[in-house]
Amino acid sequence: MISSIDLKRIAGEENVLENEPMALHTTFGAGGPADLFITPENLDDLKAVLKALKASGTPFFILGRGSNLLVGDGGYRGAVITLRKNLNRVTVCGTTLTAEGGAMMPEVAHAALRAGLTGLEFASGIPGTIGGGLIMNAGAYGSELKDVVQKATVLTRAGDVLEMEPASLGLSYRHSALMGKECIVLSVTMGLSEGDPSEIKAKMDELNQRRRDKQPLEYGSAGSTFKRPAGYFAGALIEEAGLKGFSIGAAAVSEKHAGFVVNKGGATAGEILEVIRHTEKTVLENSGVQLELEVRLLGEF
């Protein structure tokens, strides 16, 4: 394991934290500490950090907003790297918008709005980074990133910077070819269309109101806990199994939308995972459908 002293020499004292609680960096609001938490200031620092981590054999994880992640109560033995603090710029040229990997999706959507560009309204309520969003091909209300992505710039584990076209990104429902490869999305370039700002804003407001009406935004969660099974809706299957409101400690199946497992305040990651596993088991027994977890699990449970 690399020492924090060595990492601070590379990335700067203020950009390396030790034993950082991951509950502060996930939308579930649960999870133990990461040994090291790194916020590189630029691409050169990021490359140097990765090189040092690999040379020392230190495991690492690339964190977006933590909006699709459950970290175990035992934390993560290794380094967590995030681009959110420094690598988050958004630029617009004509109808082309480019966002660095750490930019939040609502911020990217609002940058498009300010430029009078349509095509990202669906992203205005997704609480993740554009880098993390690309890796899972984030979407909502019938639209997804693959509808607008033109290319992405990616840093590989080997330290190479690649420019990837949509065909090589392999974007499909909640999936991309980048999943599980420990690549870092440096930027995403999207092709949008000119639109009326008032109409774009109205569409964003409509979608966000639908989100507020139907989703338990008052509690910590990772959004939809399970992927949509072919031919079914996860929330409906969970509700049919009588699980709406089922709880263990402060973790519960939302009474507002059964497709969400929520932290009602102070839930441990273990309690959240217990609710998830009980839900999977009960739905399988009730309907014969095996739910597939959309949330990623990390660290020691």
Residues serving a catalytic function are 174, 224, 294
Q: How is residue 158 annotated by DSSP?
A: T
CA separation (Å) from 196 to 24, 116, 205, 208? 38, 6, 14, 18
DSSP letter for each residue of 105-130: HHHHHHHHHHTTEES-GGGGG--SBH
* Euclidean distance between CA atoms 155 and 138, whole angstroms: 20
* Euclidean distance between CA atoms 41 and 15, whole angstroms: 8
User: Within 10 A of 53 (CB to CB), how many other CB atoms are there?
Assistant: 22
Residue 164's identity, in one-letter code, is M
Contact 238, 244 (CB under 8 A): yes
